[in-house]
């Protein structure tokens, strides 16, 4: 919901470190893969119940997610990079609730399953819109530098990371937080269905 508003601030903050890394030969794909490795570390930390460590690794994963795009804008974006970025992001998002489920199955497994299902809704509606929009040559002006056509919603990246942070800070509240966010994701999915139906309707 607020990703587009945050983009100018993010780009301004990440431009200097991205330029420093690009000047030393670091490629965007390398940062994407390294960030995903940090995400796997966050998953392992959640499974082990090491919530402060998990929060730190989630934050570093998201930092890498911003840096890879900033580096790509300097060195030149690629279709491979766009694919890798979104594919690993979606898997990372699912691993976080799975980590909570594994650390306390009795309390967390069902809310985690509901949240992951909701993520399938937001992810599939996002990617289906991007695929059809690409065939039609449609663009999303709010995200001019993205590798895919973006369809926003109530739950975007900023909101997802905020809820992940809250889950790590208050792990006992995971079931309630997961179900509340799953409801918000369901609303986002429904809104995207409606918007896509209207955008792709032909007379």
Cα torsion 11, 14, 17, 23 to 10°: value is -30
Residue 162 CA, distance from chain mean position:
11
* Mean residue pLDDT across the chain: 88
pLDDT single digits (tens) 153-173: 677 878 899 999 999 999 999
User: In the predicted model, what is the mean pLDDT of residues 95-101?
Assistant: 98
For residue 77, give the nearest of 144, 123, 171, 140 by alpha carbon. 144
| Model confidence at 107: pLDDT above 70 | yes
Residue 81 CA, distance from chain mean position:
15
The count of domains in the chain is 1
- The token duo for 7 is 């983009």
User: In the predicted model, what is the mean pLDDT of residues 38-47?
Assistant: 98
User: In the predicted model, what is the mean pLDDT of residues 61-83?
Assistant: 91
- The token duo for 93 is 């998002």
The pTM score is: 0.86
Supply the pLDDT for residue 60.
Answer: 97
For residue 93, give the nearest of 172, 21, 159 by alpha carbon. 159
CA dist 160 to 17, 175, 181, 183, Å?
24, 15, 8, 13
Helix 157-169 crosses helix 79-103 at what angle (to 10 degrees)? 30
Contact 9, 60 (CB under 8 A): no
Supply the pLDDT for residue 179.
Answer: 97
Supply the pLDDT for residue 203.
Answer: 45
pLDDT single digits (tens) 169-183: 999 999 999 999 999
Question: What b/e string do you get for 98-107 counting C-beta neighbours within 10 Å, with b at 16 or more?
Answer: bbbbbbeeee
Supply the pLDDT for residue 152.
Answer: 63
The CATH number of the domain where 137 resides is what? 1.20.120.1760
Which residues lie closer than 8 Å to 160 by C-beta, 6 or more apart? 93, 181
Provide the domain limits for residue 130: 3-199
């Amino acid at each position: 919901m607020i990703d587009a508003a945050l983009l100018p601030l993010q780009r301004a903050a990440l431009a200097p470190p991205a330029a420093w890394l690009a000047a030393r030969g670091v490629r965007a794909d390398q940062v994407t893969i390294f960030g995903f490795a940090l995400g796997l570390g966050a998953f392992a930390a959640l499974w082990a119940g090491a919530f402060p460590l998990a929060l730190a690794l989630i934050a570093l994963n998201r930092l890498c997610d911003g840096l890879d795009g900033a580096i790509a804008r300097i060195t030149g974006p690629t279709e491979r990079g766009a694919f890798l970025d979104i594919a690993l992001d979606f898997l990372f998002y699912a691993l976080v609730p799975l980590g909570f489920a594994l650390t306390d199955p009795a309390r967390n497994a069902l809310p985690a399953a509901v949240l992951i299902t909701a993520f399938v809704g937001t992810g599939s509606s996002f990617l289906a819109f991007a695929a059809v929009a690409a065939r039609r040559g449609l663009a999303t002006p709010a995200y001019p530098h993205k590798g895919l056509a973006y369809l926003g919603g109530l739950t975007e990246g900023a909101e997802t990371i905020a809820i992940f942070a809250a889950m790590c800070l208050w792990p006992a509240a995971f079931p309630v937080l997961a179900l509340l966010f799953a409801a918000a994701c369901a609303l986002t999915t429904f809104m995207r269905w409606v918007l896509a139906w209207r955008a792709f309707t032909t007379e």
